[in-house]
Amino acid sequence: MGRCVNAGALPGDPSAVHHWVRVASIGPMVPQRFAGRVCLVTGSTGIAAASARRLAAEGGRVVVASRTEANCRALVDEIGAAGYDAAYDVADLSRDGEADRIVTAIATGYGRLDAVFNVAGGSGRRFGDGPVHEATPEGWDATLDLNGRSLFLVCRAAARQMLTQDRDPDGLRGAILNMGSVTSRHPSPTHFATHAYAAAKGAIDSLTRTMASYYAPHGIRVNAVAPAVTRTPMAQRAAEEPEVAAFVAWKQPLVGGLLEPEHIVGAAALLLSSEASAITGQVLDIDAGWALTDAPRDRS
């Protein structure tokens, strides 16, 4: 189907164990906002998968980075079968050095990095996240590492690379888009009292704005999207438990249920594209009315 290229080191280093699968693009007849641009998407399911498909379909050379090789390979195979350009690397992005390794490999293989969508993250319930009086220190640390530390390390690696790049025809060096959550600014304690997760996403909001301010003179844009409950593996509880599903349908009246990943990717692609060349420091709620809907809750 394609050739494997070394993703963990400079070409010719036989010690590398990580591989990308690359598939040749055949130039689809769709808007090509990302033609000639190199895009990194962290995560390999849900919103990340839908975004990788969209960026590739619009001409981007997409690299997917995630911990689960089976998901990465399946996604890249699917994108390749559609005739687009994709590659993957397996990594735990919360570990020191992994984001740097991937970004270095991208720069070595493709010459630059134009767009980054930081999607990877997840719920900390299994670690012990919950209301503060019930949450554990271990749950707090694990949840912030999963959502905040990994994103910080990718942002750091991407910013370092982008600062070294020539400016593109728009006068910019790159764009970074971070994944927030509507719960960080519009909490709903009835079924979503995961305080470490909300704190991590709130930190991402602040990081997005402070990065945007600092890097704007350098031609690097930084924005975030903040979805409400979206049909992803993380939202399985919301999709399957009748009480939670009914609550979400009330809180998200524009769609009458869970958002689909495709509701997110249009805005994500816009914010990463040259059409948003004058937009930075924004956190965009994509919530189907969540923040505006006064749903009843148990006050006991």
pLDDT, one tens digit per residue, over 157-200 is 999 999 999 999 999 999 999 999 999 999 988 888 899 999 99
Sheet containing 220-227, strands listed edge to edge, beginning at the edge strand earlier in sequence: 86-90, 61-66, 38-42, 115-118, 174-179, 220-227, 283-286
Tens-place pLDDT, residues 66-81:
999 999 999 999 999 9
**How high is the mean pLDDT of the chain?**
88
What is the mean pLDDT of the segment spanning 210-215? Answer: 98
Does residue 41 lie within any of the structural domains?
Answer: yes
Least confident residue range of 7-11, 176-180, 254-258: 7-11
Residue 11 has pLDDT above 60, yes or no: no
Tens-place pLDDT, residues 119-137:
999 888 888 899 999 999 9
pLDDT given at position 297: 53
> Which band of pLDDT confidence, cut at 50, 70 and 90, is reported for residue 266?
very high
CA distances for 162 relative to 97, 181, 218, angstroms: 17, 26, 9
> Which band of pLDDT confidence, cut at 50, 70 and 90, is reported for residue 9?
very low
Residue with more model confidence, 233 or 5: 233
pLDDT given at position 265: 96
What is the mean pLDDT of the segment spanning 226-237? Answer: 82
Residue 155 burial (CB count, 10 A): 21
Residue 10 has pLDDT above 60, yes or no: no
Residue 240 burial (CB count, 10 A): 9
Residue 13 has pLDDT above 80, yes or no: no
Does residue 27 lie within any of the structural domains?
Answer: no
Distance CA 174, CA 221 (A): 6
Burial class (CB in 10 A: 0-12, 13-18, 19+), 179: buried
pLDDT given at position 223: 98
For the chain, how many structural domains are there in total?
Answer: 1
pLDDT given at position 12: 31
What is the mean pLDDT of the segment spanning 138-149? Answer: 95
pLDDT given at position 279: 98
CATH number at residue 107: 3.40.50.720
> Which band of pLDDT confidence, cut at 50, 70 and 90, is reported for residue 15?
very low
Does residue 12 lie within any of the structural domains?
Answer: no
Residue 84 burial (CB count, 10 A): 26
Residue 88 has pLDDT above 60, yes or no: yes
Distance CA 111, CA 102 (A): 13
List active site positions: 197
Tens-place pLDDT, residues 90-128:
999 999 999 999 999 999 999 999 999 999 998 888 888
Token readout for 124 is 């900390």
Distance CA 103, CA 129 (A): 31
Q: Where are the beta strands (DSSP E) in the chain?
A: 3-6, 19-22, 38-42, 61-66, 86-90, 115-118, 174-179, 220-227, 283-286
Does residue 9 lie within any of the structural domains?
Answer: no
Task: Give 222's contacts (C-beta < 8 A, 6+ positions apart).
Answer: 155, 175, 176, 177, 178, 208, 211, 212, 215, 280, 281
Does residue 93 lie within any of the structural domains?
Answer: yes
Task: Give 121's contacts (C-beta < 8 A, 6+ positions apart).
Answer: 43, 146, 147, 150, 151, 179, 200
Does residue 1 lie within any of the structural domains?
Answer: no
pLDDT given at position 125: 87
Range of the domain at 73: 35-292
Residue pair 103/112 in contact (Cβ under 8 Å)? The answer is no
> Which band of pLDDT confidence, cut at 50, 70 and 90, is reported for residue 43?
very high
Does residue 189 lie within any of the structural domains?
Answer: yes
pLDDT given at position 4: 31
Residue pair 23/64 in contact (Cβ under 8 Å)? The answer is no
% of the chain beyond a pLDDT of 70:
86
Phi, psi of 89 (to 5 degrees): -145, 140
> Which band of pLDDT confidence, cut at 50, 70 and 90, is reported for residue 212?
very high
pLDDT given at position 134: 95
pLDDT given at position 294: 77
Does residue 165 lie within any of the structural domains?
Answer: yes
Task: Give 184's contacts (C-beta < 8 A, 6+ positions apart).
Answer: 198, 199, 201, 202, 204, 205, 226
